Chains A and B, each alone.
Chain A
Amino acid sequence: MKRLLTIVLTLLFLSASAFADDAAEVGKSLTVHSFQFKYKKAENAAAAIKPLMSAEGSMSIRPAANSLVVTDLPENMKKIVAALADFDVEAQPFRLSVRLVSAGRVGAARVAPELRDIESKLALMRYNALDNLGSADVMGKEGEAGQIELNGYRADFKFGEYDPASDSINLVDFKLSRLEADQLAPMMKTTLNLKLGQTVIIGATKQAQSQRALMIVFSAKR
């Protein structure tokens, strides 16, 4: 009798655990949300929320409708909704500060007073002679073009979109040229992500052993 009862209880336990697994899977269900964008492109929005998505999440871009269909866990969807609400806003204005610094490795260190804030950082790269070639501030909105001219150098660029996930502004096609014999000689062309409030130093030189480098110091703020 007891044996029979034990068998029955065991079987009931197995059945219950089997159904409990199913219930757990159901509890982990995904939610689907469709977003339509007014100011920004859906593909840029997709790139912006990629870091926020879980391994179970997926998304589908509909360029014709400028919309995005996102599937993810409910708790993740809240973050995505909030991030996209911040993202799809009118073009925001930003202030970009650019400084050009000539850096060298020499015997006697010399640093211009206005460059003290980056002296210690560049000392790590063994650059101890820092000369200020000029600086400029540019205001611009997302999507707008900008231009800077500094002591024989010229920079052309475009303010890209602000990415709320990384709190950074995209500086698109930053082209630096140098005036040589009344001609602008292109030096570099790059696209940068500048985190707001952070000073970013782009050092350009031929080789790691080169004694001279051009430092472009960026700072982007709202």
Chain B
Amino acid sequence: MMSCDAFRTSFHADTENAALLAHLRTCDRCLDFAATVDPDVLFRSLGGEDLVPPGGVDAFVDDVMRQVRVRSAENTVTAVAPVSWTRRLAIAAALAVVITSATLVSRNDTTATRFEPVKRAAISAPRAALTTKPVVETYESDSATIVEVAGEHNDDVKIVMIFDENLPADL
């Protein structure tokens, strides 16, 4: 095994010495030193010039590029693939469910929180009962009983009797 001092003494650029290159594979500090002297020494130490793919570099590159094109084509085809009509129908149904549910929930909420205007009894009473006013609107007495004698609606004579203890007896 070569020492680091021996390596640094013997090492020079473009060296092909197998012992020096073998030392580089085991010593990081000497590798850093060697890289400052000869940047290509790392590749030589790995024996990269001997790594030739089966069928040659050109065949390897062609194979890689073919794979790249195939993957690219697959992605493109996947992106524009049409959705089947059954799936579209399913999506539409799901959307309809969501919209209907939201609408119904919204309507229920609105009904629950809506403030109804206070209606006065006089306004909500049937019209027929109010178009005819009472003949006696007011009468000043604490002991009077007023009786409107029933008659036909279009009667041309209307009788109202006032029974009042405060009235004189000799009327």
Report A's interface with B, CB cutoff 8 A: 1, 4-5, 7-8, 11-12, 14-15, 18-19, 21-22, 50-55, 57-58, 102, 117-118, 121-122, 124-125, 163, 165-166, 168, 170, 178, 185, 187-195, 197-208, 210, 212-214
Residues of chain B within 8 A of A122, CB atoms compared? 159
Q: What 20 new A-B contacts, CB under 8 Å, besides A198-B156, A200-B157, A203-B159?
A: A5-B89, A11-B96, A15-B103, A18-B100, A50-B130, A51-B131, A58-B117, A102-B171, A117-B157, A124-B159, A165-B131, A166-B132, A192-B137, A197-B156, A199-B157, A200-B159, A206-B165, A206-B167, A212-B170, A212-B171
Residues of chain A within 8 A of B119, CB atoms compared? 55, 58
Residues of chain A within 8 A of B89, CB atoms compared? 4-5, 8
Inter-subunit contact B133/A15 (CB<8 Å):
no
Expressed in whole angstroms, the minimum distance between the Cβ of B140 and any Cβ of chain A is 4
A1 to B141 Cα, complex, angstroms: 84
Report B's interface with A, CB cutoff 8 A: 86, 89-90, 92-93, 96-97, 99-100, 103-104, 107, 117, 119, 122-124, 127, 130-141, 149, 155-165, 167-171
Cross-interface CB contact of B138 among A191, A198, A212, A214, cutoff 8 Å? A191
Inter-subunit contact B159/A125 (CB<8 Å):
yes
A171 (CB) vs chain B CBs: closest residue: B137
Interface of B is mostly: mixed
A122 (CB) vs chain B CBs: closest residue: B159
A206 to B25 Cα, complex, angstroms: 137
